[in-house]
């Protein structure tokens, strides 16, 4: 609650004793508290600070907790919680803070009554008729007989006297005067008028200078939906849906104007003896038909729906597919696919995708796994690059599906010098698309060519055949950006 108004309605009072009584080092402070609805009733915490009128920090502070407020009125006794050690030899003023609100203004001057506390040093007991008050050498007065010499040694303590009879009760004092209710009413009316004026000014400012709309995600299906948002800032995020991610990839693949061939391994419409490219400029071209060897198609359910081709990895009779597409001359070109590795190893690792510029010339290129099946790598010329796992930030987990995309550009056809770029993403978990290869291969052969003469999957002259599934294998006749986010 914000208490906005403090009105002093009573004088600051200081308890003052006599020469025969201890001075009470306290003074009372009374005020009126109002909030936006009128006089406040309840309990509040009140903090009093005393400041020198000449300036500077508080010279005294005292906190009162749980102060009762009735119809706006409250009273505290300053000095009743923390001993009041201010000498009041100079001019001072009182600052009042309610709760956690700022200190109210203006501060209240402390006039003559609190200054009487300076008389606290004059505290003299005893004395009789004709005695003389003298200085004891420590700044305090003592009573003694007129003309008496120095005070003698203290005598022995006498016996305790009998308890005297109780004195008569003193007469009742005069009744105090009532508070000036008319003045209180006038002050309350002034506070109410100020409150109304503040509310009116606030409304006018808000109308003339409305706050800017709250930005945020306004889609209730998003994970970061903000019900307070007034304008959508494009920040919405959604739970990862692998099926939707794969479908979006397929749509992007099929709509790419640079697509030459896309094998999706669906049963519907496929050739009985193999798989023709179903999308791209070479769709249904017999030169881009993948035929099976040492086995038959092994169709399994792929990520995101549809079918995928699984290779058994049998290194004696395992199936593989080979495309006799004839010599292609695309440069640069891009290979893209979904792959679900199962981690089986062989003596030399397993070949997932392999092509030759010119068979027998020693210029074989491949996407493969090492012996331990811990990563997917790219072989280009005499260089090896980690694509998934290994030195990359995309960890390889068996039986999870990965999107891989690799672009090759032969920069010198006479030597085979080339650049390689590769990207990877875990499509099962929705990990980020990561560029894992950005490298080059120096001159390494004198028979450098572009494109390929032969291409195959899980195929090699030795036993190195891949174990796992592949899907949506795409071949583009130029360098393309990945088709996943």
* Whole-angstrom distance, CA of residue 418 vs CA of residue 425: 24
- 300's enclosing H/E stretch is strand 299-301
Predicted pLDDT at 8: 47
Residue 311 lies in a domain: yes
Quick check: helix, strand or coil at residue 142?
strand
Domain boundary among 74, 93, 121: 121
Distance CA 192, CA 106 (A): 18
**Do the domain assignments include residue 187?**
no
DSSP state of 215: E
In a domain, 38, yes or no: yes
> Could you tell me if residue 484 is inside a domain?
no
Q: Give residue 13's pLDDT.
A: 44
Tens digit of pLDDT per residue, the chain (485 long)? 555 455 544 445 444 333 444 567 888 999 899 888 888 999 999 999 999 998 889 999 999 999 999 999 999 999 999 999 888 878 999 999 999 999 988 999 987 655 455 554 555 566 777 676 667 777 666 777 766 556 778 888 888 888 889 888 888 888 877 778 888 898 899 999 888 888 888 788 878 888 899 999 999 999 999 999 999 999 998 899 999 999 999 999 999 999 999 998 886 545 555 678 889 998 888 778 887 776 677 888 999 888 888 887 765 555 677 776 655 678 899 999 999 988 765 555 677 888 776 554 556 788 988 878 889 999 887 789 999 999 999 999 999 999 999 998 988 877 778 899 999 999 999 999 999 999 998 876 655 556 666 777 877 655 566 788 999 999 999 999 999 98
**Spatial CB neighbours of 240, under 8 Å, sequence gap ≥ 6:** 429, 430
Residue-number span of the structural domain to which 51 is assigned: 5-121
Q: Report yes or no on 183 lying in a domain.
A: no
Question: Which of 79, 101, 121 is the C-terminal boundary of a domain?
Answer: 121
Neighbours of 17 (CB within 10 A): 12
Alpha helices in 57-97 (DSSP H): none
Count of residues in the chain: 485
DSSP at 210? P
Angle at the Cα of 328 from the Cα atoms of 326 and 332, rounded to 5 degrees: 155
Beta strands in 393-444 (DSSP E): 402-412, 417-426, 434-441
Backbone angles phi and psi of 247, in degrees to 5: -65, -40
Which of 121, 138, 159 is the C-terminal boundary of a domain? Answer: 121
Residues 262, 265, 268: CA angle, nearest 5 degrees: 110
Long-range contacts of 274-280 (CB under 8 A, 24+ apart): 274/321, 275/309, 275/321, 277/475, 279/253, 279/254, 280/474, 280/475
We report the CATH number of the domain holding residue 330 as: 2.60.120.200
CA–CA distance, 456 with 437 (Å, rounded to integer): 22
Element (H, E) at 204: helix 181-208
- Asked if residue 248 belongs to a domain, the reply is yes
Domain count, the chain: 2
Note whether 264 and 398 are same-domain residues: yes
Residues 419 and 276 in one domain: yes
* Strand duo 215-216 + 231-232: pairing: parallel
Same domain, 302 and 436: yes
CATH number of the domain that 43 lies in?
A: 2.60.40.1930
Half-sphere exposure of 29 (CA within 13 A, CB side): 29
Q: Kindly state whether residues 116 and 248 are assigned to the same domain.
A: no
Whole-prediction pTM: 0.54
Asked whether residue 291 is domain-assigned, the answer is: yes
Same domain as 462, residue 330: yes
CA dihedral 310, 313, 316, 319 (to 10 degrees): 20
Residue 161 lies in a domain: no
**What pLDDT does residue 419 have?**
92
Alpha carbon of 249 to those of 142, 242, 467, 471, 482: distances in Å?
104, 11, 24, 12, 9
Number of helical H runs and strand E runs in the chain: 3, 29
The reply to whether 313 and 454 lie within a common domain is yes
| Locus of tokens 């028979």 | 447
């Amino acid at each position: 609650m914000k208490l906005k108004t403090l009105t002093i309605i009573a004088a600051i009072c200081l308890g003052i004793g006599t020469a025969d009584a201890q001075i009470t080092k306290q003074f009372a402070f009374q005020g009126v508290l109002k909030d936006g609805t009128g006089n406040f009733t309840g309990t509040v915490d009140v903090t009093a600070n005393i400041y020198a009128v000449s300036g500077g920090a508080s010279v005294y502070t005292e906190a009162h907790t749980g102060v009762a407020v009735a119809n706006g009125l409250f009273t505290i006794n300053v000095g009743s919680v923390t001993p009041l050690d201010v000498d009041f030899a100079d001019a001072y003023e009182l600052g009042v803070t309610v709760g956690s609100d700022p200190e109210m203004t203006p501060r209240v001057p402390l006039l003559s009554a609190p200054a009487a506390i300076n008389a606290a040093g004059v505290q003299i007991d005893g004395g009789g008729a004709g005695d003389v008050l003298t200085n004891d050498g420590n700044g305090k007065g003592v009573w003694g007989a007129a003309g008496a010499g120095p005070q003698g040694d203290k005598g022995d303590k006498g016996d305790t006297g009998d308890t005297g009879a109780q004195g008569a009760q003193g007469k009742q004092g005069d009744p105090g005067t009532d508070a000036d209710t008319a003045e209180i009413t006038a002050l309350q009316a002034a506070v109410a008028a100020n409150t109304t004026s503040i509310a009116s000014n606030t409304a006018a400012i808000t109308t003339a200078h409305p706050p800017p709309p709250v930005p945020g995600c306004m889609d209730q299906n998003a994970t970061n939906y903000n019900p307070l948002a007034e304008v959508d800032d494009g920040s919405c995020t959604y739970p990862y849906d692998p099926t939707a991610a794969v479908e979006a990839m397929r749509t992007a693949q099929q709509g790419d104007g640079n697509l030459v061939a896309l094998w999706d391994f669906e049963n519907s419409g496929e050739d009985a003896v193999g798989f023709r490219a179903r999308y791209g400029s070479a769709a249904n071209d017999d030169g881009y038909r993948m035929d099976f060897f040492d086995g038959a198609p092994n169709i399994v359910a792929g990520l995101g729906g549809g079918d995928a081709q699984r290779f058994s990895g049998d290194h004696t009779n395992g199936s593989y597919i080979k495309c006799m597409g004839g010599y292609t001359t695309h440069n640069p070109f891009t290979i893209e696919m979904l792959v679900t590795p199962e981690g089986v190893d062989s003596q030399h690792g397993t070949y997932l995708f392999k092509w030759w510029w010119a068979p027998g010339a020693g210029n074989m290129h491949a996407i493969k796994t090492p012996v331990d099946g811990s990563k997917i790598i790219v072989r280009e010329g005499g260089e090896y690059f980690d694509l998934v796992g290994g030195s990359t930030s995309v960890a390889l987990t068996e039986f999870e599906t990965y999107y891989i995309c690799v672009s090759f550009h032969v920069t010198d056809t006479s030597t085979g010098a080339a650049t390689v770029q590769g990207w990877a993403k875990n499509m099962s978990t929705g990990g980020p698309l990561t560029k894992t290869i950005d490298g080059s291969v120096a001159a390494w052969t004198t028979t450098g060519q572009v494109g390929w003469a032969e291409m195959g999957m899980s195929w090699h002259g030795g036993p190195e055949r891949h174990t796992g599934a592949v899907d949506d294998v795409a071949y583009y006749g130029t360098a393309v950006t990945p088709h996943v986010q």
